[in-house]
Chain A
Amino acid sequence: MILARLQAAYRDYLLSGNSAAVAPAIVADAFDASERLGIHRNNFLISLRAALKANFPVTLRLVGNGFFEQAAYRFALAHPPQRPCLFEYGAAFPDYLQALPELAAVPYVADVARFEFARVAACHAPAEEYVSADSLAGLEPERLDAVPVRLARHARVVAVTAPVLELWKAHRKPEADLTAIDMAPRSHALLVCRPEHSLLAREIDTAAALFLAAAGAGSSLGLAAAQCHAQGDAALGRVIRLALELRLLANPGTP
């Protein structure tokens, strides 16, 4: 079998468990082909399960090890990684969890997972050139449209309805005490960012969320600022100050 076809047959087997196409290429002796191939399928699924556990530690605690492992196993088969950096693996896991009927009664789980993935992404984001206060000094307000910006890679805005920060904080202790947490749904936005080496996570107001969403969509400073104006005159100054302090804006011209 030519190598490309053999590797495609492995792929079909690893994702489906059906070894019919690849088994004839494997020497059968004391073990048959499916027993030998099973070692590799096991490695594939167990290692991805471990990667998801590492990226979603509080989600794991919320649903319990048994359920997490089953969900991670099914997720790995449905959404295997496309790239070898496993700290980037699991972007689709929160939506996958949200769609599971077993979790319909605990919608906060998917929100916590969204937050955890944002944390991992922020932790590993590469450094880049940020828009600084100096670069904006002396800029006339009408020239803001000419300043292109994008959201820095270390910054993520996560829209949630569950009390994610409280849940996450409670689960940093060995015994999580949830009794004082108000679980009533409330739409809000969380900013997760790593301006230097320390990760920050905080709730942001609507003006900041709109501004950062516009920046995230690859906007100009003027267009992003326009999103803020509807939230009141004081909002823009406050949001720009936050964005500069936390290095949330990057120059789109840099890689």
Chain B
Amino acid sequence: MTAAVELVDFDDVVARFDPVMGIEVHVELSTNTKMFCGCPTEFGAEPNTQVCPVCLGLPGALPVVNRAAVESAIRIGLALNCSIAPWGRFARKNYFYPDMPKNFQTSQYDEPIAVDGFLDLTLDDGEVVRIGIERAHMEEDTGKSLHVGGATGRIHGADHSLLDYNRAGVPLIEIVTKMIPDTGARAPEVARAYVTALRDLIKSLGVSDVRMDQGSMRADVNLSLSPKGSGTLGTRTETKNVNSLRSVERAVRHEMGRQAAVLDAGGEIVQETRHFDEQTGHTRAGRRKETSEDYRYFPEPDLVPIAPSAEWIEELRATLPELPWERRRRIQDEWGVSDEEIRDLVNAGALDLVEATVAAGAPSQEARSWWVSYLAQQANTRSVELADLAITPEQVARVVELVASGELTNKLARQVVDGVLDGEGSPDEVVAARGLKVVSDEGELIAAVDAALAAQPDVAEKIRGGKVQAAGAIVGAVMKATKGQADAKRVRELVIERVGA
């Protein structure tokens, strides 16, 4: 393990070095069954209950490719603007590890199903960065090990390990970028934006739930530094275990500072695997391998080649949903909002929510206003994600409707929303339970106005004498009497009316 080094200040790093990145993302597909057998893929089942001779690697068992996984891979490839390989084989990647039942991983090696695409990202300031996609290929996941004894489930110092193969054989798509040069100080931001955009894209395809927290999307970040203007490529490290969007950004930033420190000290960057620690935000070196890896790839003899026809590819292309950038453009047109506004919505994680609220009948202006201001504040106060607030877009739309119809004032509406968030029921239930409806019964209001005028005859006299601004005192009294549930504008009209009558 290398000793902790003093990181070089980020601005200093980018002043003297050019970072070059490469990002590999593994996505677990949400197919019903595994890549090569009919076992279910559901997360969280009892250990070793979603296994069969094939995914347990029992002697004699043979794989058969899941058509839906291939279709998902092709759709991801098409959405990433890749070419789909007209012919390709699976290969075996040979290495021993207890979580891998066959001691080889069935993967695509030099014949990936999708190659040479790109994904355009829009950064916070509106700059568009094109990330080249080298390849997307299919492979299978490994089982899970539980390390017993020693420190808190860590592999080091464990006494023994327990293996669960439910995850073994779950279909994975690995998406590899081309080298990402010339991002300078924006490298951490670009890395995060790329993983975010990829996540949104794959989510829109409906092929994975892309939950980084559950491991259904995992990122590995390759990074190297080269002295500015040198034109040479530095030695890269690969940082694994980067399991949140924020961590992607932090890992890049940390690794830049660390590598610069090593280089400044006259050291050499070791080509190695590093692990990201969520707690400290640091990367640490993995254990060095005794022998250099030699995966001895060769074509998988138990599976025949995949040769997607042009017709099949076009059929799949036709099933692509509206992709995130297309959707954003359409929404912008429909709602008439600016680039900045749409970006704010996306960054706030509010776009889906606002769209659903609009779909439930609310005008886009009101829907946007609720989600980015009051509800965003509430999410902040309550320390939850916007999407995890206990209110649905339909409920927000109902509140907007109640305000528009005059049944609620904006102030009352906020109280109704508070009630919903506190679990008191639907907006209508909160209105009823808390008695928050605007007092719109004219008779009731007239009685309240008359009572207030009678209580302050001098003020009534002033108004009658033309000092209309004196009506404020009466309106205030009426509002107080109705606990704020009256429409102040209407009260004012009634005061003038009653005095003049």
A, B co-complexed: no
